[in-house]
Amino acid sequence: MVTAFPFQRNYYPVPDAMTLTPVLFDAAIIDLDGTLVDTLGDFVVALNLMLADLSLPAVDRAVVEPLVGKGSEHLIASVLVHVSNRPSAHDGRAQAAISLEADAARLWPAAWTSFQRHYLAINGQHAEVYPGVLEGLQQLKGRGLKLACLTNKPAAFALPLLRAKGLDGFFSQVFGGDAFERKKPDPLPLLKTCEALGTLPARTLMIGDSSNDARAARAAGCPVLLVTYGYNHGEPVRAVDADGFVDSLSAIDLTLWKR
């Protein structure tokens, strides 16, 4: 027998509902970029100000979007490799991969300093809270869940962004990509966040937008829901191994079922 999750038209159907039991949740850990806030505009503006400082050509949204989600260091390094790969940035030099990496490494210190300065100056100005986020957070809190925000973004960017968007008050904990030794998709940040919340991973729901979030959650033993509107490294999000998919945080029903 195939039965849809109750009340939730946008969850995938699951087989064998009779063998499933409901999961109770004490907390939710929520991703930031692509889940709470659409920050692609901020990334593009800050990256292009950085590239202009380095006399390098600009990038557009289509280049940046698949690179979001693995932290700012990864984003900048990938963009430097991308622009170094363009003939216009090469001054006729050979385009061997080794020279691209050497270029990116040479540019890194100036790029990182410039990006940080520009990002902090514009943080939130070209970013929007997704529809349904405020209602969704209110509903989750109203159900008595503790909430933590866990992002791969450095904390120095994440905290002012949450404040600027009026979202900081929902979270008892906020951890950036620099909070722990490793970032998502490693399970360590989720395990550490559960520890800080004082909750068991099996009773802590991860809500994110990418395979990064899902892989980290699976490895930590947290059930995971993915939103369908964020960034998933340029891949279709519904192909990711997750417990369910929602079109809006306000559509989350906490009746999640497990074998």
Ligand X SMILES: O=C(O)COP(=O)(O)O
Q: Which two tokens stand for residue 49?
A: 């100000």
146 vs 183 by CB, closer to ligand X = 183
Q: Which letter does DSSP use for residue 89 in this model?
A: G
| Residues annotated in a binding site for Mg(2+) | 31, 33, 209
Q: Does residue 31 bind Mg ion (CB under 5 A)?
A: yes
CB count within 10 Å of CB 204 equals 25
Q: Does residue 70 bind ligand X (CB under 6 A)?
A: yes
The whole-angstrom separation of Cα 180 and Cα 176 is 8
Shortest distance (Å) from residue 39 CB to Mg ion: 9
Task: Name 28's bridge partners.
Answer: 147, 205
Q: Which two tokens stand for residue 211?
A: 């395979």
Q: Which two tokens stand for residue 253?
A: 């029903």
Supply the residues annotated as catalytic: 31
Selected binder of ligand X within 56, 59, 68, 224 (CB under 6 A): 68
Secondary structure element (H or E) that encloses residue 74, with its range: helix 72-84
Q: Does residue 65 bind Mg ion (CB under 5 A)?
A: no
The whole-angstrom separation of Cα 25 and Cα 257 is 11
Contact 227, 209 (CB under 8 A): yes
Stretch that binds ligand X, among 13-21, 29-37, 133-141, 185-193 (CB under 6 A): 29-37
Q: Which two tokens stand for residue 19?
A: 């063998």
17 vs 196 by CB, closer to ligand X = 196
Site string for ligand X, 173-192 (x = CB under 6 A): -----------x--------
Contact partner, 68, from Mg ion, ligand X, none, Cβ < 5-8 Å per class? ligand X
Stretch that binds ligand X, among 13-21, 66-74, 190-198, 214-222 (CB under 6 A): 66-74
The whole-angstrom separation of Cα 50 and Cα 58 is 9
| Residues in 107-166 that interact with ligand X by CB under 6 A | 151-153
31 vs 103 by CB, closer to Mg ion = 31
Instruction: Give the sign of the dihedral formed by CA 46, CA 119, CA 124, CA 248.
Output: positive
Selected binder of Mg ion within 209, 224, 227, 242 (CB under 5 A): 209
Binding-site size for Mg ion (CB under 5 A) equals 5
Binding-site size for ligand X (CB under 6 A) equals 14
Q: Which two tokens stand for residue 75?
A: 């984003």
The whole-angstrom separation of Cα 170 and Cα 149 is 9
Shortest distance (Å) from residue 176 CB to ligand X: 9
| Residues found near ligand X in the complex (CB under 6 A) | 31-34, 68-72, 75, 151-153, 184
